[in-house]
Structure 1
């Protein structure tokens, strides 16, 4: 094996082979446009990377490696509990079983009275922490008047910096990007907003060094693995440039906190959230996050001891068994990730300057332009999921129709614009209506199976298991089956030529009130068939939510 050598292959030679493999499709079909406006290449080479960054490549890599604030990947598990007893029991168990940073959202179902604050003070005196609060007047902040240990370490997250905390190692000025992320923001927007918030806080303090001693960032990490790695790396590059703009020769290391993204979490098939969380945690680990929170797979409804344990163990396994921590900047030098990092820096810095030209983050927000930009991205995300250009496993593809959608939503996460919500609403509405749905399959199994499977998967996203007619061999048999069956909605699944034979005959004798669709695109016959009573068509690339919503409204009218 040591004597085997592979010949060097140029990009042009690879491209030639790729074009042959595409069998007539344009080479450009291998390029992918991301939601950030970045075009991903099918292959990255050293020459392409050097051409793009040249001397800046070494600076980019050294900056990222020198600005990691922590030597380890700290696990920051959020504590849950319906009662104070459950909460503190869960808190104690998390510390004993590997939690490095106590993470608390002050919006709990019990009150922060003197007794509970005294208990909490003991934990915060001995452990690092991350606490989400509403504002300066949040009752949980009274805990800091009880603590007498001046060396406590932690982070306080709020919409505005908290000025009432006077502990040197407790950071209180956060660029919390999670709300923007949950509204749909892309990586470039998050990075630009992070610096815009930093600029706002730095100007309000007046002393940049004093400001950096209190500043940190909090990101949400989505399922787009390489994009999220590049996002975390890009922040460090941008932070150095930002610090230099304030006259700092050496940039201060800023703590990067992160958590699993909940906009990709689902209520139906909730165990898929485990896969999402593992993917996101691994991206954060490679990207250089200092603290990471894995949200339990059932946190949207009601997390329990088991789900919290699993969430904690996701991070523990990655930390202890991936050995990523043994490598300095594990993705450093990757032609793809270094290029993507540089493109994010370029685009995010330009957006940051636009925000500042508009008067800063507050003026940009009050003008409505920020929310408008994020809303555009969110709508594109929803459309991509609805048309299956973006896969949400268990929701818009490989959906299990038997999954139930829990009615309850955890109060802390009720306002998140989750991508699965339109599909979850479909499931609830179809369950309430209980329509009788079937697929009319014509010809031999091998002929109709691809389309029948597609239609079955399409309808399954609404939580419906359609019945099937079996191998109908003649037009008369198909018409007789329709007349004898009592269905509200039927989809014809057959080969193109068989569908063209079937549909006109069936429409001539179609039962009153029966909603009938055909699987496939039939542009030439479309107008004629619709005029004779066909409801419509089901095909790949269609907006599933819009189509199933239209069917639902039609079924309501019929019933």
Structure 2
């Protein structure tokens, strides 16, 4: 009998039916555990349905989708790869190579290792005259700005690009160079969440628009600059939400029609790590795809080793991330690929609502400068940063290769690329732990009791725990008697051990271990034993190793004890 998939129909299932089955699958855990709170102040639901969208948006759904689709500034997702080079000759050679191999927009940070002398400025002028660019400046006095004086007046109308700086830049007779940017990167690296980035982008736009005499002229010079992080769906919704917020913003200035502005973006270095740096490739690919789906116009993929020193190979791979995504996914050929997704549409709407509310709060406070001077901006950013770091350090949020699935033998370069030395990264505490334990060179062991099948899950957890600090802990293997345990303890040259057994065995055996251990030996136990904690600590137990605790604080505390013993 032929099975014709075209004629197979599935029964409609209500949310309540799905919820009932989900509760069964949870086996006693509360249904609420399926809801996920985020650092954006939004709770993600386990299931989004058509009814969810109707309840959230109603007849606003079509308006939301049409607004997003009408405000795409370009028809492309342009590659804007950064140019590197230690010498002027290498730098300009890399520009040529970049253009030949598919780069569409030249990203040039003015901070280079060579001088922007008259010769190099002249060479750059001839290149920018014929190729789109993104210039990253330090201030309005940046010497690289003299490049615009070198371009012939008759050619200036054909020059196109973006100038990224803290304050708007004034250059005359360059109608296709956007010089006013709502650059949210500094706030992103101070810890800003999606809602805050969106609100701050509007607050910057308001500040700059109010300083211009003509709103239409302002819009023609304006663009927004975002960093795209690893939260895939959130970042898609962020870029979509900006377009809706932007339309509301322009209405306040009596704009009569939809005015699209370019969304320029790049991979976030906040989640990049020097540890297992090839995982940065996965992060970059994830971020680039979310930016493509979200509707960014221009995008930069940072090489996976950019935190130290990018190579020709890593630069080529980074450039190809965008080229492959465009060619293989065909998402660039689709207007608003995520449009109509119940989840994305609800998330977009929530970001719009919360970001607009925060934007109005900033404006009521007197604008972004007054809001920052009052200390309110720093306070809300610190709150998010603290919450995010605690989540990372407790391994509730994963940084693969850094705080989970870490390779203890992985080495890394302690030097940081000067261009990104001020970026506040989530992996920094773990990189510092690696250096700390590398200098200490402690002898650490895992003491296991019972059969392998009984202690292996906990032993693997403890092993992975110390791997984040670059430690390969010695394991005792199966020991099935207290006498053998005590004999092992007396013979070991370890300075610190973690005792691993089942809860029942731990409660039975640990008191004997504590009574018979040598005084200077530091012992922790795997697991959380709240009822026995006080008694065991009084008898000489150092503490506990368990899931959910702040790993960085724990390992730093252990290091301090080890230092004391070594001295």
* TM-score for the superposition, normalised by structure 2: 0.98
> For residues 414 and 404 of structure 2, what CA distance do their matches in structure 1 show?
22
Q: CA deviation at 1:455?
A: 0.2
Match of 2:416 among 404, 409, 416: 409
SS in 1 for 2:6: coil
With 164-173 and 211-220 compared, the bigger mean Cα shift is at 164-173
- Is the CA contact 1:136–1:164 (under 8 Å) kept in the aligned structure 2? no
Identify the residue that residue 57 of structure 1 maps to in structure 2. 61
With 290-299 and 142-151 compared, the bigger mean Cα shift is at 142-151
> For residues 3 and 344 of structure 1, what CA distance do their matches in structure 2 show?
40
> For residues 56 and 254 of structure 1, what CA distance do their matches in structure 2 show?
22
Identify the residue that residue 13 of structure 1 maps to in structure 2. 17
Match of 2:543 among 524, 536, 540: 536
Identify the residue that residue 48 of structure 1 maps to in structure 2. 52
Q: Deviations for 1:277-302, whole angstroms, at most 9, x for unmatched residues?
A: 00000000000000000000000000
Gaps of 5+ in 1: none
- Is the CA contact 1:239–1:251 (under 8 Å) kept in the aligned structure 2? no
Identify the residue that residue 250 of structure 1 maps to in structure 2. 257
With 78-87 and 421-430 compared, the bigger mean Cα shift is at 78-87
> For residues 541 and 249 of structure 1, what CA distance do their matches in structure 2 show?
53
Matches within 5 A, 1:325-336: 325-336=332-343
Matches within 5 A, 1:475-486: 475-486=482-493
Q: CA deviation at 1:29?
A: 0.8
Identify the residue that residue 138 of structure 2 maps to in structure 1. 134
Q: Deviations for 1:188-230, whole angstroms, at most 9, x for unmatched residues?
A: 0000000000000010002111110100001000000000000
Q: Is 1:524 aligned to residue 531 of structure 2?
A: yes
Match of 1:115 among 119, 122, 125: 119
Q: CA RMSD in A?
A: 0.8
Q: Is 1:303 aligned to residue 310 of structure 2?
A: yes
Q: Is 1:37 aligned to residue 41 of structure 2?
A: yes
* TM-score for the superposition, normalised by structure 1: 0.99
- Is the CA contact 1:405–1:427 (under 8 Å) kept in the aligned structure 2? no
Identify the residue that residue 300 of structure 2 maps to in structure 1. 293
Q: Deviations for 1:154-176, whole angstroms, at most 9, x for unmatched residues?
A: 00010000013541100000000
Q: CA deviation at 1:475?
A: 0.8
Match of 1:376 among 370, 383, 392: 383
Q: Is 1:509 aligned to residue 513 of structure 2?
A: no
Identify the residue that residue 28 of structure 1 maps to in structure 2. 32
Identify the residue that residue 436 of structure 2 maps to in structure 1. 429
Matches within 5 A, 1:325-404: 325-404=332-411
SS in 2 for 1:457: helix
> For residues 354 and 206 of structure 1, what CA distance do their matches in structure 2 show?
25
Q: What stretches of structure 1 move > 4 A for 4+ residues in a row? A: none
Identify the residue that residue 212 of structure 1 maps to in structure 2. 219
Match of 2:83 among 79, 85, 93: 79
Identify the residue that residue 555 of structure 2 maps to in structure 1. 548
Identify the residue that residue 319 of structure 1 maps to in structure 2. 326
Number of matched residues? Answer: 559
> For residues 17 and 147 of structure 2, what CA distance do their matches in structure 1 show?
66
> For residues 29 and 440 of structure 2, what CA distance do their matches in structure 1 show?
44
> For residues 526 and 468 of structure 1, what CA distance do their matches in structure 2 show?
24
> For residues 289 and 326 of structure 1, what CA distance do their matches in structure 2 show?
13
Identify the residue that residue 93 of structure 1 maps to in structure 2. 97
> For residues 225 and 178 of structure 1, what CA distance do their matches in structure 2 show?
18
With 195-204 and 402-411 compared, the bigger mean Cα shift is at 402-411
- Is the CA contact 2:70–2:258 (under 8 Å) kept in the aligned structure 1? no
SS in 2 for 1:554: helix
Gaps of 5+ in 2: none
Match of 1:497 among 501, 504, 508: 504
